[in-house]
Structures are given as C-alpha cells and as structure tokens.
Amino acid sequence: MPGNLTLDALKKAVNSGEIDTVLACIVDMQGRLMGKRLVAQYFIDSAWEETHCCNYLLATDLEMFTVEGYASTSWQAGYGDYVMKPDLSTLRRAAWLDGTALVLCDVMDHHGHEEIAHSPRAMLKRQVARLADMGFAPVAATELEFFIFEKSFEDMAREGYRDLTPISAYNEDYHILQTTKEEGIMRRLRNTLCASGVPVEGSKGEAETGQEELNIRYGGAMETAENHVIAKHAAKEVGWQQGHSVSFLPKWRHDKVGSASHVHQSLATTDGKPAFYDKDAELGMSDIARHYLGGLLKYASDFTVFMAPYVNSYKRFQKGSFAPTRKVWSVDNRTAAFRLCGDTSPAVRIECRVPGADVNPYLAIAAMLAAGMAGIEEKLDPGKPLSGDAYDGTGDDHIPTTLREATDALRASQMLRAAFGDDVVDHYVRMAQWEQEAFDAVVTDWEIARGFERA
C-alpha cells in the first residue's frame, strides 16, 4: 500500500483545516527521515513540485558532523543544494502527529535533472529496475525489533546514559501480560501507522526485557523500505510522546539479546507468480531461488556494511543469541544467517537474519537484490542446507566480525561496484571508515573501568 493521500485529497484537508503541516523528507545514509516542515498551503501551492536541502545530508554521520573525504561534497566545494522532489505516491497522513501529512522525496542534482546516485532511494530503485529488465519484481518484508526504556531520551542523555532501565523486568517474548503494560505505546503506534497507510500486521513481545517487535505486511521492495523508515521514525516519536525512549541500537548491553531487523525476500514474475516456487523441486525451491540464494551466500561479506553499518552492529553476532555468526543457510533454522521459510509452498522465501535494528532498509535490500541477481546471472548453487546448530562450526564462513573487516570486503567488491558504480561504493566505504575512525578516537567506559586502578 503506497501513501493514502492524493494531492487533491490533501488540498481538501488543507482547506478544511484538517491538515496544516507537511513533512517533506528524504532518507539519509543512516536511514533516517530528514527534511522540512512545510506550511501545508505552501506545499499545495508550489512545494509539491520541489523544495531544496543542503547536500551535506548525504555526507554526515549520526551526529550530523561534516565528514571530510567525500568526493560528492565538501567544505572546498561549498556544500551546495540538492533538489528534494516529492514522490506524491508516498503522500500520506502522519496520524501520530496532529494536523500533519508526510511525503518522501527523491534527491536530485541542483537542476533537478538526475537522481543522486548514492541516495538510498535511488540505489534501491536502480536494483528494482535491473530486476524488471530480467522479468522479475522483488517482494520483501522487514521485522523491526526495538527496546522501550522507562525514561525519556532527554532524561537519559542528561544522565549520561548510565541508568538504562527497560520498561519491563523480564523476557517478554510472545508475553501478553507484559505487553499489555506497554499498550500505551504499542497500540497507538499500530493504529496510527495503519491510519498513515503503513500496513501493520501486529506487534509482539521479543526475547528480552522491554523488547518489542513490529511486523508489517510484505510488499514491493520500495514499499517495504518506505514502510520501514516511516514506522521506525513513528516508533521513536510515539514513545517520546508517552515519556519513554524507543531505541533501535542493536546491542545496548553485552549481556542482553540485541535488536535485529530480519529481511524476508523473494521474487515474483511479471504476471505476479512466485518465481522462487517450483512444486516439483526439492523444498519447493525453483532454480531461480537457488541461484539467488547462492548469490547471497557468495557475496554476504561484500554487503555486510549495508546490514551492519556501525561498530556496535557487530556486537550482536554472538553464539546462542539468535543473531547469526556464519554465512550458511538452513531450513526454518534461526541459527543460520539465511533461513528458508515456507518451504514446499508458494510462500517459499529467504530470510536474512544478519541486519540489526540500525539497518537502512533501502541499502540492505538494494545490496541483497544485487547479490541475488549476480547469483542468477552466475547460476550459483547454494549447496545443501545446514542442519543442526549453525553456531557449531569452524572455517572461513564467518560473517565479518568487525566493521573494519566488512569495510575491506565492501571496498574490494567487484560485484557491488558493477551494480552500484564505483562512486557509490567509494562513498559508503568512506562512511564506514569514518564510523571506525570516530570510535577509535574515543576513550570508552569499559577501558576506564577495566584499567583505571589495575593497569
């Protein structure tokens, strides 16, 4: 389901006083909504065609620091403008906010002639178009896991993030009693997202203290990424409205389970039939599905940065944590990086369990589509599925264990360079390099506690 407002419907809502504000948003490298709050009358008068933003929005880190070393923009180049071109198919009510609509924008060059190649939306669009040329349409769904904490963002920041108390005191996986206590947040989140055109299926307690999961109906790849970033943004704002903080940090304590964002994926033919399904094949997997999975396995290290973009992301990959450690596939087995779901049925699909809750879904899905297409083109075979505990095993099939290792794999990836272009890959290599450089420059609490007296 795309946005739930047409421009004409927005005009009527503005004229009646129902809507007075439009959020015009781009998706930045980190998968966040960035942009402007526009007076709704101004939007319907002219800004529905275009507005503008500084081009540093696709070259900063989480702190909005202007990082050196990007070819696309710099202090020397003067940090000029990009055009924000509203995609009116995404126009919708932001029902968790009073009197507000929201639209996602494509990021264009200053003259509005071409999309910026390293824009996350442009990267995913390009891979969807490549698949269309092959006769396929990608279908995907993401799961959003996150923690809810007792205190607000502001309170915890003032306290130096030292009293991180989850909203519940025990594992609430599928737990109805405990999640009832969280319905002040979750019910409002589910209902306002549905009213905003995001097809939420439901929510459930996850396998930690204060951890929830939000499930959104599967759809086309672009639609799935859009629903993901809107839902993630709304979750933070709805939590804040209730005096709580909602965090998508993958691993907030070493002894707590982390937060993931598993990505389910398959392909459909141009006439809507499931391209991954062959009723006569083993497990119901068509040759296309096997080759696609072969590509995911072969190139998993190449695109790990797009699934785990920060130093903290790699803290999830621990034995016995339900986060994977090895690049293997299995059938309905949550210890493997790639889990085959719905085997022997038309719903057969591949779940990638590597991404954390910090993932930018546009980048992750685009990279996996690129790897899957490479697998189809190279006719790669994934081999036999692993059975048993995927945590038990040795060899060189481990998922990159650090951001440094993943960055090296991204830099060397000829597959992604062919799919995205050298300039795009180099842009995201620089993003990953900077995250590591920023971390390396900081003295952590762990170092002080460990060595202050005893070193």
Residue 75 has pLDDT above 90, yes or no: no
- 197 and 146, same domain (yes or no): yes
Q: How confident is the model at residue 1 (pLDDT cuts 50, 70, 90)?
A: very low
Q: Does a structural domain hold residue 59?
A: yes
Domain residues for the domain of 108 are 7-116
Confidence at 392, pLDDT banded by 50, 70, 90: confident
Give backbone dihedrals phi and psi of 148, rounded to 5 degrees, phi first: -110, 130
| Of the candidates 151, 359, 154, the residue with the CA atom closest to the CA atom of residue 249 | 359
Rounded to 5°, the CA angle 107-109-113 comes to: 100
Question: Would 450 be classed as within a structural domain?
Answer: no
As for how many domains the chain has, the answer is: 2
CATH label of the domain that carries residue 34: 3.10.20.70
Residue 396 pLDDT: 76
Cα–Cα distances in angstroms (integers) from residue 406 to residues 306, 339, 412, in the given order: 9, 21, 10
Q: Within a domain: residue 454?
A: no
CA 179 to CA 210: how far, in whole Å? 9
Arithmetic mean of pLDDT over the chain? 94
pLDDT tens column, 341-365: 999 999 999 999 999 999 999 999 9
177-192: per-residue pLDDT in tens? 999 899 999 999 999 9
Are 37 and 133 within one domain?
Answer: no
Whether residue 60 is found in the same domain as residue 133: no
**Domain co-membership, 75 together with 192:** no
Report, as an integer, the average pLDDT of 431-446. Answer: 95
Band of residue 49 on the pLDDT scale cut at 50, 70, 90 = very high
Residue 339 lies in a domain: yes
Residue 337: give its domain's CATH number.
3.30.590.10
pLDDT classification of 76: cutoffs 50, 70, 90 = confident
Under a CB-based contact definition with an 8 Å cutoff, are residues 143 and 261 in contact?
Answer: yes
In a domain, 452, yes or no: no
State the Cα–Cα distance between residues 103 and 230, nearest whole angstrom.
10
Q: Is residue 2 part of a domain?
A: no
CB 291 within 8 A of CB 383: no
User: In this structure, what token pair is assigned to residue 149?
Assistant: 């904490």
Q: What is the pLDDT of residues 301-336, one digit of tens each?
A: 999 999 999 999 999 998 888 889 899 999 988 989
* pLDDT recorded at residue 299: 98
Nearest to 129, CA basis, from 433, 373, 426: 373
Which of the four pLDDT bands, split at 50, 70 and 90, describes residue 388?
Answer: confident
| Confidence at residue 430, expressed as pLDDT on a 0 to 100 scale | 97
C-alpha to C-alpha distance for 25 and 150, rounded to whole angstroms:
29
- Tell me the pLDDT tens digit for each residue of 188-244: 999 999 999 999 999 999 989 999 999 999 999 999 999 999 999 999 999 999 999
